[in-house]
A and B are shown apart, each in its own frame.
Chain A
Amino acid sequence: MSGPEETQETQELASEYVLGTLSAARRREVEQRLPTDAALRAAVSTWQEQLLPLAALAEPVEPSTGLWRRIELSIAPEPASAVARKSAATGWWQSLNLWRGLAASGFAAAAIMAAVLLRQEMAGPAAPGYLVVLVAPQSQAPGWVVQAVQAGGSQQQIKLVPLGEPGRAAVPAEKSLQFWTKADGWTGPVSLGLVQPGQTVQIPLDKLPPLQANQLFELTLEPANGSPTGRPTGPIQFIGRAVQL
């Protein structure tokens, strides 16, 4: 139903999102709606523009001399988007900078938070050797957790578990969430299949090398039947690296 009430609701939500008074949960709700809700996106953008002059009320603070260097190192050695542009054959996912940057930014805090949330999960019989928290690139909100499960012998499985609202967020019509992994030294990400929002899946890794520290996992938005190329083609929804426990 679309009407004046919805418009009013959109406006109020947008204004308090930009103002900053929404709770963490409602902020995430807005961030999830933004990609698909054009009216909300327009309202948020307009508020951002209109309130921007208020940023001038914060006194300027000179950054530490090392801050730019830190940023530079995080985007080094070669710009991600330049790599993507150079060749259509080598995808953007091959850029280590992109992966590094995404995994580094705000990741520790999210990992700690999710590790706390996970304590009950991990009380199960098979203690995982690795933990991966997948966070949304923009908001850093944790959405999924990957646990490695030693299923006896050398056979290894991983379990992908949704976390709270972000992990349950529906994907747009005609789209799917595809799960990928890439360890250091691999030529590209390998698909681990399609996943349903909000549903835990267990995936055998029998065709892949054992899980290793720092291994990357991500969920991307792909066409309904998955990526047509066998490589990620859509935007990253969640991303994270394996941390040894």
Chain B
Amino acid sequence: MRRGWLHQPTIRHTSTHVPNPADSSNVFDYERALQACAEGDRMALQSIYQHESRYLLGVALRIVRQRQQAEDVVHDAFLNIWQQASRFDAQLGSGRGWIYSVVRNLALNAVRNGARQVSVDEETTAALENRQAVDAHTDVEDAFAMRANLGQLNDCLAQLEPARRNCILYAYVDGCSHGEIAERTQTPLGTVKAWIKRGMSSLRTCMGGLAV
């Protein structure tokens, strides 16, 4: 069973992407749905929910890690989408990207504000630096199976060393802080921070740079 929306990675800079017409998410017009929400059309909000709620809940759950809290995030996100649809700016990005950002930002704010118990704080983790550092450049397993079609992003991620790639994915997908990633990967905190910084910089170069 294909997860339709995976096949439309919504990367605006990709000109080679060919939409699959059989894919329902390709025909769902997120920008139009948001416009309708801004005009008070509740059916439009419901159609977004029908298309995306299970994926959005999946994204929220990975970050907050508690089912009820994840549902609260999705609930709050749909209220935000409803109330702020008129502020969506199609010049800056896709409607679908905006919707996911609303969910991720609420989930990340919740965990960064302390809603999720973190077993090791950054200071404790920093002490790891005093221990013998694990040579993470060797024998690193890919923590994430790249089954999904990530388009150009996939190629760019593939160019990163697995250890750096894992750090970026732990952060984005699991909502891990620097300290949590250091703990998970048994890597000194400073190293994790540097890997992420350089990894993101490499990604940016690979993705064709960002307009500033």
Contact = CB atoms under 8 A, between A and B. Distances in A.
B211 A70 contact: no
Interface stretch (A54-62, A172-180, A189-197): A54-62
Contacts of A42: 92, 210-212
A57 B204 contact: no
Contacts of A57: 144, 148, 169, 173
Interface residues of B, number: 85
Given A53-B9, A71-B79, A11 B212 contact: yes
Q: How large is the interface on A (under 10, 10 to 19, 20 to 34, 35 or more residues)?
A: 35 or more
B168 interface: yes
Interface string A33-65: 000000101110111111111111111111110
Contacts of B49: 68, 71
Q: Is the interface of A mostly helix, strand, loop or mixed?
A: helix
A27 B40 contact: no
A137 B84 CA distance: 10
B163 interface: no
B69 to A, nearest CB: 10
Interface in A128-183: 137-141
A22 interface: yes
Contacts of A137: 80, 83-84
Contacts of B108: 20, 27
B11 A50 contact: yes
Interface of A: 7, 10-12, 14-16, 18-24, 27, 39, 41-43, 45-64, 67-68, 70-72, 74-75, 78-83, 85, 98, 101-102, 104-106, 109, 113, 137-141
